[in-house]
Amino acid sequence: MTRPRLTVRVRLTLLYTGLFLACGVIVVAITNGLVAAGLTVTPSGSLRPSEVTDDLLRLCKRAYNERPADVDLRQICETAFQQGVDEGARQQREALLDHLLGYSLATLAAVTLLAALAGWIVAGRVLRPVHRITAAARAASEDHLSARVALTGPRDELRELADTFDAMLTRLEAAFGGQRRFIANASHELRTPLTIMRATVDVVLAKPAPTSSELLRMGRDLRAAVEQAEALIAALLTLASNERGLVVREPVDLATVVEDVLDAAGTGDRRTHVSLQPAPTTGDPILLERLAANLLDNAVRYNTPGGDVWLATSTVNGLAVLMVANTGPVIAPSAVEGLFEPFRRLNERTGGDGFGLGLAIIASIAAVHGGSVRAQPRTYGGLQVVVELPVATTQVTT
């Protein structure tokens, strides 16, 4: 047999009622104590003479019969009268206290019921925002995240909770939307090499007797498409692995990383301007090399023929800084932020067959290293990208 579930509203009502009842009992006890202490027995006529006449007469007769010979009758009567007055005052005090206690308890019971009703109503009003948050949470799903609490009123704890919940739904909606766009774009990009492979194979297989040169050309085309698919998958795996955080943490000098990248990569007819100062940081050397390689590849790929590429490393304000800039087409400032989204390309930026993942991977690698990346268009064309990473606590040896 399961115990009945008490809702928060019921528990709050019981709490309010219990506290009110406890305070009421204390008030009743203090009131009765003060009244009892204030009611003292005095012979100052607190009782009317008619109320004690019979008792007084009986006391006088008994005192007279039992009096010694040398006791004055007047003194006996005065003593008997005083005793009667005191007895009447005591009885009146007890009756008054009994009535006061009865009326107090009856009043306390009635007011406690009213307090319970008021507590039930107040608890319902207080918990109304919680019910709205619950309804919004139930309505939210992966395909429907537009529901909001939109709570109004004073900015108290419940208003803050509702605003936080709305902000969380906004972030989730953006995240799910970005995820859907990412999956759609990734599927589109992967479909391109697969379509090329299928079309190449279909063309050759449609011929009754393909020549060796046609087969070799098909093989080269298939190899190029496979390499394109492998590059895309490697980029996607890099983005996915960065979501799990860093696994390797080693001292790395960004200046050494840039030197290695320049030795391994070609810049074609682009003029390279290099200024490398020590920039020690801590992280995964492979990922940081990938970051520098992507920056250099973007600077070369999206450039004008015979253009310039600038690379610089330094330590500024406790940060290891890597700056890469290039010449190229003029970019609108409003379009720069979108470049860090996966598969985002600019129509004005032509001259390559990239996937639009370069800057997204750079931002992901910088974030997983606890750093940041920002970009700004150059006045006469091109882009400048600055990566800032936490500087290493110990000097990196080269």
pLDDT, one tens digit per residue, over 248-297 is 788 999 999 999 888 887 778 889 999 999 999 998 888 888 888 888 88
Q: Mean of the per-residue pLDDT values for the chain? A: 76
pLDDT band at 3 (very low <50, low <70, confident <90, very high): low
Measure the CA dihedral 324/326/330/331, to 10°.
-20
Strand partners, 272: 309
Beta carbons within 8 Å of 201's beta carbon, 6+ residues apart: 218, 222
Residue 200 · residue 215 · CB < 8 Å: no
Beta carbons within 8 Å of 232's beta carbon, 6+ residues apart: 186, 189, 190, 193, 355, 357
User: In the chain, what percentage of residues exceed pLDDT 70?
Assistant: 72
Cα–Cα distance between 382 and 308 in angstroms, integer?
10
Helices (H), the chain: 8-38, 53-66, 73-139, 157-205, 212-242, 254-264, 285-301, 358-368
Provide DSSP, 220-268: HHHHHHHHHHHHHHHHHHHHHHHTT--S--EEEEHHHHHHHHHHHS--T
Cα–Cα distance between 125 and 213 in angstroms, integer?
82
Residue 193 has pLDDT above 80, yes or no: no
Least confident of 46-55, 235-244, 257-266, 332-341: 46-55
pLDDT band at 235 (very low <50, low <70, confident <90, very high): low
Q: What is the pLDDT of residue 323?
A: 94
- Within a 13 Å sphere around the CA of 387, how many CA atoms are in the beta-carbon half? 33
Residue 169 · residue 136 · CB < 8 Å: yes
Residue 274 parent element (H or E): strand 271-276
Residue 372 parent element (H or E): strand 372-377
pLDDT, one tens digit per residue, over 72-95 is 556 666 676 677 677 777 777 777
Cα–Cα distance between 120 and 126 in angstroms, integer?
10
Q: What is the pLDDT of residue 51?
A: 46
Q: What is the pLDDT of residue 14?
A: 82
Residue 304 has pLDDT above 50, yes or no: yes
Provide DSSP, 170-219: HHHHHHHHHHHHHHHHHHHHHHHHHHHHHHHHHHHHTSSS--HHHHHHHH
Beta carbons within 8 Å of 192's beta carbon, 6+ residues apart: 228
Measure the CA dihedral 318/322/327/332, to 10°.
-60
Of the two residues 265 and 186, the one the predictor is more confident about is: 265
Strand partners, 386: 323, 374
Q: What is the pLDDT of residue 352?
A: 45
Strands 372-377 and 280-283: unpaired
Q: What is the pLDDT of residue 254?
A: 92
Cα–Cα distance between 241 and 304 in angstroms, integer?
34
- What phi and psi values does residue 390 have, to the nearest 5 degrees? -60, 135
pLDDT, one tens digit per residue, over 146-176 is 777 777 777 777 778 888 888 888 887 777 7
Q: Position of tokens 């090329």?
A: 196
Cα–Cα distance between 386 and 324 in angstroms, integer?
7
Cα–Cα distance between 131 and 152 in angstroms, integer?
14
Residue 337 · residue 330 · CB < 8 Å: no
